[in-house]
Chains A and B, each alone.
Chain A
């Protein structure tokens, strides 16, 4: 069965600290896709990144970086030099390639990140 676990419910850091948000997933498929979304206080989910199961290269986008490791079924997200504007709930999600629900996203329960000045 598909499952996404974000063990960290809440994280609080001081501005300029680095922070890593953990994501562990379960799937039986060999082809699948992983996503990260950001939900600021306004509520709208903002798409951050998509990775497919065949591409284990880490990715960096500005202060954001993602570490995908199939061996541990993890897709962790690191924010370097955090800023107050990074405060949000972050969701990790999984989608299987040929799932019956037309690409249904299975979400983790989210990690609430608070960055204090």
Chain B
């Protein structure tokens, strides 16, 4: 069966510090991978998605970046955190299935709660 891991589970960082959040998927190959952010009291916002190693698409311009160094590894980074980067970060994966992308459900990891002080 497939599992998705995220770490760390919680993180408190000062403004201006760097960030690295990691997500790994087990039990599947060539998944689509996604990073979402959930700010307090708000819905989920897609930040990045990836259809393959080294292929990253950004949905929202910001001071965050993402990388996919391996097929089942997705990393979210920042060089300098802002207060507004606080939130709950969720990684998700879905099966990649030909030309039609929307028909596969996304499975989410346990999330990382980031507080920037």
A residues lining the B interface (CB < 8 Å): 31-33, 35, 37, 42-47, 50, 52, 91, 95-99, 101-105, 107-110
Chain B, interface size category, equals: 20 to 34
6 interchain pairs, CB-CB under 8 A: A44-B111, A45-B44, A46-B108, A98-B99, A103-B32, A110-B43
Residues of A contacting B88 in the complex (Cβ-Cβ under 8 angstroms): 43
**Complex partner residue of B105 from A31, A47, A102, CB under 8 angstroms:** A47
Whether A52 touches B43, Cβ cut-off 8 Å, given contacts A43-B88, A43-B110, A103-B32, is: no
Say yes or no: A35 contacts B108, CB within 8 Å: no
**By DSSP majority rule, is chain A's interface helix, strand, loop, or mixed?**
loop
Whether A103 touches B101, Cβ cut-off 8 Å, given contacts A43-B88, A44-B111, A45-B108, is: yes
Say yes or no: A103 contacts B59, CB within 8 Å: no
Indicate if B46 sits at the interface (CB-CB under 8 A): yes
Residues of B contacting A103 in the complex (Cβ-Cβ under 8 angstroms): 32, 94, 101-104, 106
Say yes or no: A44 contacts B108, CB within 8 Å: yes
Q: Output the nearest chain A residue to B92 by Cβ-Cβ distance.
A: A45
Say yes or no: A102 contacts B106, CB within 8 Å: no
Q: Output the nearest chain A residue to B106 by Cβ-Cβ distance.
A: A105
Residues of B contacting A91 in the complex (Cβ-Cβ under 8 angstroms): 43-44
- Given contacts A31-B100, A108-B43, 15 further A-B pairs with CB under 8 A are A44-B90, A44-B108, A44-B110, A45-B44, A45-B90, A50-B105, A52-B103, A98-B101, A99-B102, A101-B59, A101-B101, A102-B57, A103-B102, A103-B104, A103-B106
Closest 8 CB pairs of A and B: A95-B102, A103-B101, A45-B108, A109-B43, A103-B102, A107-B43, A107-B44, A102-B101
Q: Output the nearest chain B residue to A112 by Cβ-Cβ distance.
A: B41
Say yes or no: A101 contacts B49, CB within 8 Å: yes
Q: Output the nearest chain B residue to A109 by Cβ-Cβ distance.
A: B43
Residues of B contacting A45 in the complex (Cβ-Cβ under 8 angstroms): 44, 90, 92, 108
Assembled-state Cα–Cα distance A108/B38 (Å): 12
